[in-house]
Structure 1
Amino acid sequence: MLALVPSEKFEGKSLFGKYGDCVLELDDGVGRMLDLLDELGIVNKTFTYFSSDNGAHLEEVDLHGNPEGGSNGIFRGGKGHGAVEGGIRVPTVVMWPGIFASNQTISAATSQMDIFTTVSNILNLTLPNDRIIDGRNIFPLLKGEKQTSPHDFLFHYCGVYLHGVRYIEDNDHVWKVYYYTPRYKPNEDKCLFVCMCYGKLVVRHDPPLIFNIAQDPSETIPIIDRRIREKILSKVNQAVREHTNSLENSTNIESQFSFVNSIWKPWLQPCCSWNFCRC
């Protein structure tokens, strides 16, 4: 379970329980950081990027069974659901006065992997050319110089299993191809306890499901037109082959899901000291 423990100042102040209280406290913390940048006179020299690592955790409940993981609104599914939109589609807010125009909304698909490449570009750093860098430079997109995503394809994994692919043809045609989806509870878009990535606890789609999430963000109307499907799958299958080959042919890629990388390392945990964690 998540530790939702808002401080006394924010406890009971929202209309959405402890989760809402924690969001209020987070908002206050971010606001104080931005105020400090302003006080130090460096706000115009700072690229501020605020986002989330995943969508709401729909299976999260308190001791009484009440939901405590948030809501994903119109998007299906949630955290840990593989490629389902509610688990991977998150809002992002950026700010850089004098560089980025204010009060603009960008709908083009990007990835958190783009942070590395974008910041490297801002700092005029040269990236290594002995490996494939998945992130793209989204600075031109944020600055308004481009209106489309720098990605043609985004590969959505559940653990080490490829569950889906996002094919960005243009802003009006963003196709989501599903190979697997979670095995949900009847009439619900969530799993019994936690969603799994493989075996009998997922639903395999052969042929794959396809949605146009630019027009159908709730993923309720699968594409059934044979010609459209063939065109999309031809592009996506080729992209998957190239992506898979790039992984198989790379000798310097270490799996983040190996046993060594999966075990808890308390000495790397923020606020931890031997033999317990404290802040």
Structure 2
Amino acid sequence: MRGTQVIEQPVHLEGITDRLVNEATGFMSEQNAQQKPFLLVLNFIKVHTAHFPNKHFKGKSGFGKYGDCVLEMDDGIGKILDYLREYNLRDNTFVYFSSDNGGHLEEVGADGVAEGGSNGIYKGGKGHGAMEGGIRVPTAVMWPNKIPPQAVISVPTSQMDVFSTVHEILRIPEPNDRIIDGKSMLSLLLKPKSTPSAHQFLFHYCGTYLHGVRYVESADNIWKLYFSKPKYKPGQYKCQFMCMCFGAHVVHYNPPLLYNIASDPGENISIDINSDIKYQRIVDKISEEVKNHKQSVASVPSQFDFENTIWRPWLQPCCQFPTCSCSENQVKK
């Protein structure tokens, strides 16, 4: 869709990356022609699921369809950065690139080959609540002459932080009529060696259920407390088809499980909280913060309940009724 207009139905996934890049560069060109600053949010369809790489990238990665789609996305990012360079916008543009989740371990092709990516040493994956494999993702940030090149930042941040970071870059006050969960990353990005994480606590949900909490005590002590984990297939760290967040689909822990993910990022050995009073104090501190956090969260109607997610044919977008089939050059203007 472009705005409220359906321009292609069904979606042609093989060509979607080029389409998105063309829309993005077109938007930047419009803003640049008017000498206007711009905020571009470009959400690539790839790499997510249902992998249909463009013909120019099929078989090129050596890592199956998933790898081919990564190459395709990389090419699209390169075109965006080339545009910034060509029109002398590169030095005055803040660029933030990240993934929305870790690899989807349950995604397997018809041939039985895993197609959801790899999370390396980290356990769990997409949709697994607080598991590192699903929420620890790589991020690359660029702002020439502002952010030091080749700097590596290893303290936790959140994608919610982008909201506050952009506000600080633009020197615009944040809204004061609501709780803002994100924190500006600007100081951390500009002075990565001397600035601690803006977050002391990060709360990791699965759906509406709090599965775990991250407590950043120091660079050497980043604690992770689990209240729940997915119920995995025996001997594996993946679910049968997809992980669920509640009831019999999860394992609840009382007392909760504690890890120091600064020294044990693979979460291989849980800490016996009864072995030292300091661990019990850590658990108590996190539990108190959870209590305060829950009191700050307003109850709202769920947009994911049955009533709100059941398919309604009469609300289905459709071009050229009754076939609901078109491509952009067929759409009536």
- What TM-score comes out, normalization by structure 1 length? 0.92
3-state SS of 2:217 partner: strand
Q: 1:263: how far off?
A: 6.0
Aligned pair partner of 2:230 in 170, 182, 190: 182
Cross-structure match for 1:157: 205
Q: What amino acid is aligned across from residue 237 of structure 2 in structure 1?
A: D
3-state SS of 1:170 partner: coil
CA contact (8 A) 1:117 1:135 kept: yes
CA contact (8 A) 1:163 1:181 kept: yes
Q: 1:156: how far off?
A: 0.3
Q: Is 1:25 equivalent to 2:76 in the alignment?
A: no
Cross-structure match for 2:165: 118
Q: 1:7: how far off?
A: 0.9
3-state SS of 2:265 partner: coil
Q: Is 1:243 equivalent to 2:243 in the alignment?
A: no
Aligned pair partner of 2:116 in 69, 81, 86: 69
Please give the alpha-carbon distance, in whole angstroms, between the structure 1 residues aligned to 2:111 and 2:253: 36
Aligned pair partner of 2:61 in 7, 14, 25: 14
CA contact (8 A) 1:160 1:257 kept: no
- Which one has more relative contact order, counting CA pairs under 8 Å at least 6 apart? 2
User: Residue by residue, what CA displacement relative to the aligned partner does 1:77-117 show, whole Å, maximum 9, x if unpaired?
Assistant: 10000000000000000000011010010001000000011
- What TM-score comes out, normalization by structure 2 length? 0.77
Matches within 5 A, 1:108-257: 108-144=155-191, 146-224=194-272, 225-247=275-297, 250=298, 255-257=302-304
Matches within 5 A, 1:253-272: 255-257=302-304, 262=309
Aligned pair partner of 2:131 in 52, 61, 84: 84
Q: Which deviates further from its counterpart, 225-234 or 124-133? A: 225-234
Cross-structure match for 1:100: 147
CA contact (8 A) 1:108 1:147 kept: no
3-state SS of 1:18 partner: helix
* Percentage of identical aligned residues: 54
Please give the alpha-carbon distance, in whole angstroms, between the structure 2 residues aligned to 1:264 and 1:185: 31
Runs of at least 4 residues off by over 4 Å: 253-256, 258-266, 276-279
Q: 1:16: how far off?
A: 0.8
Q: What amino acid is aligned across from residue 55 of structure 2 in structure 1?
A: E
Please give the alpha-carbon distance, in whole angstroms, between the structure 1 residues aligned to 2:238 and 2:124: 6
Instruction: Rate the CA distance shift 1:265–1:99 in 2: closer, same or farther, 3 A.
Output: farther
Q: What amino acid is aligned across from residue 107 of structure 2 in structure 1?
A: E
Q: Is 1:60 equivalent to 2:110 in the alignment?
A: no
**Structure 2: any 5+ residue segments left out of the alignment?**
1-47, 329-333
Please give the alpha-carbon distance, in whole angstroms, between the structure 1 residues aligned to 2:56 and 2:153: 34
User: Residue by residue, what CA displacement relative to the aligned partner does 1:208-247 show, whole Å, maximum 9, x if unpaired?
Assistant: 0000001000000111133132111111011101100011
Over the aligned positions, Cα root-mean-square deviation in angstroms equals 2.4
User: Residue by residue, what CA displacement relative to the aligned partner does 1:159-186 show, whole Å, maximum 9, x if unpaired?
Assistant: 0000000011011100000000011111
User: Residue by residue, what CA displacement relative to the aligned partner does 1:31-57 show, whole Å, maximum 9, x if unpaired?
Assistant: 111011000100011000000000000
Q: 1:130: how far off?
A: 1.9
3-state SS of 1:115 partner: helix
Radius of gyration: which is bigger?
2
Instruction: Rate the CA distance shift 1:204–1:277 in 2: closer, same or farther, 3 A.
Output: farther
Q: 1:273: how far off?
A: 5.5
